[in-house]
């Protein structure tokens, strides 16, 4: 018992549990779709886009490195009393050795037709969306959350909701593309929604 009390006291000394409701955050991104998805996944947080016209180049070797770079960039611009979120995501295709991965936003000028062309005649079309979120607190403490959505690449684009590869990504246990399943489905099930829940749990966890 005494040991438990001591552990609780130690945690309290380091700040204890954080109030998670109405947490104010700035997302270091220009992507309004990402903002909408994070707002839907974390409805009690107040998230806005960071007002920046340019973001640092994505030169990291992992989603985490890129997400952290964005968050650190945002930390330098945002109001001191808000949290800052950095996000990096991509699609990994088994038959392409995990590419385009962290290059998903820039490996092609026309990524959907080019990915379909790269998989022309390929039967094994397993793929996954990955999202890494990094949060920096007003004090500079770092927390992170990862989310994965497994699925496969469709033979042709279908649907109009979402963005990026959504017209050609069919999540496991469904037979429709994310662009057909729609924004509501995505807000509950996407890699970004899963990363948001993992981040929330990391922030809530006693330190």
Interacting residues toward ligand IMP by CB under 6 A? 58, 88-91, 104-105, 111, 129, 162-166, 190, 192
24-27/83-93 β-pairing: parallel
For ligand IMP, which residue has the nearest CB? Answer: 164
Tell me whether residue 91 or residue 143 sits nearer to ligand IMP (CB atom): 91
- The residue among 103, 73, 96 whose CA lies nearest residue 85 is 73
The least CB distance from residue 207 to ligand IMP, in Å, is: 28
Nearer to ligand IMP, 78 or 193 (CB): 193
Q: Smallest distance from the beta carbon of 95 to ligand IMP, in angstroms? A: 17
* Order of strands across the sheet that contains 24-27: 46-49, 24-27, 83-93, 126-136, 142-153, 169-171
For the question of residue 88 being annotated catalytic, the response is yes
Nearest to 34 by CA among 172, 145, 136, 162: 162
The minimum distance between CB 33 and ligand IMP, in angstroms, equals 7
Q: What are phi and psi for residue 19, nearest 5 degrees? A: -70, 120
φ, ψ at 23 (rounded to 5°): -65, 125
Contact (CB, 8 A) for 109 and 67:
no
Instruction: Between 24 and 163, name the residue whose CB sits nearer to ligand IMP.
Output: 163
Q: 10 Å Cβ neighbour count for 103?
A: 12
In angstroms, give the least distance from the CB of 140 to ligand IMP. 23
Nearer to ligand IMP, 59 or 173 (CB): 59
Which residue in 5, 44, 81, 88 is the catalytic one?
A: 88
Report, as residue numbers or ranges, the catalytic residues.
88
């Amino acid at each position: 018992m005494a040991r438990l009390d001591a552990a609780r006291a130690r945690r309290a000394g380091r700040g204890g549990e954080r109030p998670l409701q109405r947490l104010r955050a700035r997302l270091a991104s220009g992507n309004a779709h990402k903002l909408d998805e994070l707002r839907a996944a974390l409805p009690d947080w107040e998230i806005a886009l960071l007002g920046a016209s340019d973001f640092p180049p994505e030169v990291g070797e992992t989603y985490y490195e890129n997400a952290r770079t964005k968050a650190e960039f945002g930390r330098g611009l945002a109001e001191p009393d808000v949290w800052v979120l950095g996000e990096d995501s991509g699609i990994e295709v088994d038959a392409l050795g995990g590419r385009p991965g962290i290059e998903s936003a820039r490996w092609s000028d026309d990524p959907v037709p080019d990915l379909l062309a790269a998989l022309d005649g390929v039967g094994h079309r397993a793929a996954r969306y990955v999202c890494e979120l990094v949060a920096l607190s007003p004090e500079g403490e770092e927390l992170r959350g990862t989310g994965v959505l497994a699925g496969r690449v469709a033979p042709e684009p279908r649907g109009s909701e979402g963005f990026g590869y959504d017209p050609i990504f069919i999540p496991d246990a469904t037979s429709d593309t994310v662009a057909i399943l729609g924004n509501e489905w995505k807000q509950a099930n996407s890699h970004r929604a899963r990363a948001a829940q993992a981040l929330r749990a990391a922030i809530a966890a006693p330190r």
